[in-house]
Structure 1
């Protein structure tokens, strides 16, 4: 069998003819084009149709595993376009009648010819999960029935995309051509005669994947994980490809496409332990794939355990007969931080030590403290990556609860810097950093029992920022320098819900407690605020004492003592 790669330009009429019998392999990603991509395709086609009366329109390329002279064509790249064009042809068929409808229908299904040995069947066969659905509704031109289905009742996102794009094309054809059958027919004629695709074919699977990777690493709209998948699944033993593809696809569905792509970035970090300097696709191949003995090992020993660890950490779903509640609470706090640089360390640890609940609790407690330290102290991305790299390197050495990973602990210098920042003017931290600290402090006071919604949070001053000269505040705090010193520090800040934010911040203390901090019921959702409600006066002495008490709570909660 020749390994020759051939490519030729074909009109859509030829692309959807007896010369090609398209099959979407099971390892391909689901149909992912939304109404955004489908709408852009229709708009581009119609704009060209109106403005160009002679020229041809190029729709891009498809990559096929196909033997010369045989119609069977396994689609390596191009399923999104082929599927979308089939939906558009179905919408045109739906509008047509008589001979025109029969003509359109031939692009959807092979009518069959016993003399030529052609069986009656659809031109395009989707992945197993969607092929019956696509055949029964789109290729059978039962679009009215399709649109009557509640999208929530469809099996997956792929089917919802198919339904949404069918609706879009039917609406666009109606709004563009109205009830004029000839106008729609002329547009359909333009589509099949003057719109072209380049079909690149080779009988070699390896060659087809190579062509696919080259084309798509140059900027077409695939995620790096799609190209990595083609590389990896293409190298799995043929007898195992379906099984491994099913595993891969299940992980992608569970993590979501964007989440799954994030997993690969974190895996790269686990192996590289440094900031990415090139594209993920290039670095993942060099840093990860080239260091794993086989494609099968890459899936079973790297992608599967790390994706499961990612989902555990992101969804806070650690399961154990002991410590599970504490561990999941800590994971929730980690997920509140405005970066995910902590995730590679968590994934590496969970993938290897998930069964030891006591050790997991030990590690996650310290990982949250380390992440909080860098978050509150304002580490930039380079500083965070360098610090977590130390943890990742340590995780590669033998470790256990009896000999734990020391790199996840804060050094004495880091603890001192943390404490210094806790004593600073907290109010001037960025909102994400400030809110994290205030809510984490409140959680230490509640022993973790409270539930917080940071979307309805504002941080307010007890001693107001503006003090009238004749107010009780001025009498209680006569020294303007002292007022300024304490104004933005931890002791003078309380968390409130946003709906109370518009009320008078400058009331005298007693009135402020009743009308502003306590609300209608005279209570607060936050322990920090409840403590202020129970305080009879707000003097410099009270604030100094409160500052020390709150810093002590954080010192104990995060274990910031020097010993």
Structure 2
């Protein structure tokens, strides 16, 4: 394997799609556990730029990617995300939120800086434009809402796409189950709009500092697997970071990584044998009287 530090800009600028293998768990990061801390880091870096402090990188950890071979000149290059899907997905939500914030503050002209990190170019040479235009392609359970959220062009459009999730006053409903993509875009875009509109500097300066903080100051160690590297061993070694992986996550990844390496139809295996266990029933707390039984992932 080989490793190198990459900025968010370096990671997403190339015409490439990062694919979450279909058998990996869904997106699980939340405002309380991860987004708030990430937002603080971003704002801290943006404020440092406004104060003319010498920029220093903020590392978000490591990601592990497995490049996939291409059998045609058509289509974008792809890499499977062996470890790091939560980070990469969150960064796509952050970038999409910056775009919404720029539009909301009358700075849509700065979109051209961010958009290349959200969309792949040259759609005429793609085999499946609806899929390949995105820089990241999530697992089955996240795809529908990921696409809906990243396709909106304004904060107002979020309300139109998810009308049942908002109150009559236009705020997200409390005590309501929201798609993570919607909740993330609402949280980050609101914070970014406030930062851009803050007094003390021109709004354009605030926006540029914010964009630079994300694209340039946030870095990750990109570990790229090479032929002969064991993706499962590397995944298990690195799985302790971020949101805790449950035993079922490890078992699922082991089964399907091995199926792929043994040339077994992993997609069919998932559809016929594993998919029933992805039902929300298996992750809900079960109650008997006043006593809750822990879910199967506990």
Shorter chain as denominator, the TM-score bin is: 0.7 to 0.9
Instruction: Quote the offset at 1:227 in angstroms.
Output: 2.3
Instruction: Quote the offset at 1:39 in angstroms.
Output: 2.0
TM-score normalised per structure 1: 0.41
Cα contact 2:256–2:266 (8 A) shared by 1: yes
- 1:172 partnered with 2:172: no
Correspondence for 2:274 among 245, 248, 272: 248
Structure 1 pair 243/18, CA: closer, same or farther in 2 (3 Å)? same
Tell me how many residue pairs correspond in the alignment.
261
Q: CA RMSD in A?
A: 3.6
CA distance in 1, matches of 2:147, 2:267: 22
1:117-156 matches, cutoff 5 A = 121-148=133-160, 149=162, 150-151=164-165
CA distances 1:40-85 after superposition (whole Å, capped 9, x unpaired) = 2111221244356321110111111115999311112212111111
Cα contact 2:46–2:209 (8 A) shared by 1: no
Correspondence for 1:107 among 117, 142, 145: 117
Cα contact 2:145–2:179 (8 A) shared by 1: no
- In structure 1, the partner of 2:244 is 222
- In structure 2, the partner of 1:194 is 217
Cα contact 2:30–2:180 (8 A) shared by 1: yes
- Whichever of the two has the greater Rg, that structure is 1
Instruction: Quote the offset at 1:201 in angstroms.
Output: 1.7
Structure 1 pair 205/50, CA: closer, same or farther in 2 (3 Å)? farther
Instruction: Quote the offset at 1:142 in angstroms.
Output: 4.7
CA distance in 2, matches of 1:131, 1:75: 15
CA distance in 2, matches of 1:45, 1:30: 25
Structure 1 pair 115/24, CA: closer, same or farther in 2 (3 Å)? closer
CA distance in 2, matches of 1:251, 1:234: 18
Structure 1 gap ranges (5+): 260-313, 316-334, 345-563
Structure 1 pair 182/231, CA: closer, same or farther in 2 (3 Å)? same
CA distance in 1, matches of 2:148, 2:291: 46
Instruction: Quote the offset at 1:211 in angstroms.
Output: 1.0
Which structure: greater helix fraction?
A: 1
CA distances 1:3-27 after superposition (whole Å, capped 9, x unpaired) = xx12211110011122532112211
Cα contact 1:65–1:73 (8 A) shared by 2: yes
- In structure 2, the partner of 1:533 is none
Instruction: Quote the offset at 1:146 in angstroms.
Output: 2.1
The runs of 4+ residues in structure 1 deviating greater than 6 Å are: 113-117
Structure 1 pair 115/250, CA: closer, same or farther in 2 (3 Å)? closer
- 1:58 partnered with 2:59: yes
SS at match of 1:196: strand
Question: Which stretch of the first structure deviates more once superposed, 14-23 or 86-95?
Answer: 14-23
Structure 1 pair 337/164, CA: closer, same or farther in 2 (3 Å)? closer
Cα contact 1:13–1:107 (8 A) shared by 2: yes
Structure 1 pair 176/209, CA: closer, same or farther in 2 (3 Å)? same
CA distance in 1, matches of 2:291, 2:124: 64
Question: Which stretch of the first structure deviates more once superposed, 100-109 or 202-211?
Answer: 202-211
CA distances 1:151-182 after superposition (whole Å, capped 9, x unpaired) = 39xxxx99711101111011111222227233
CA distance in 2, matches of 1:8, 1:158: 38
Cα contact 1:137–1:145 (8 A) shared by 2: no
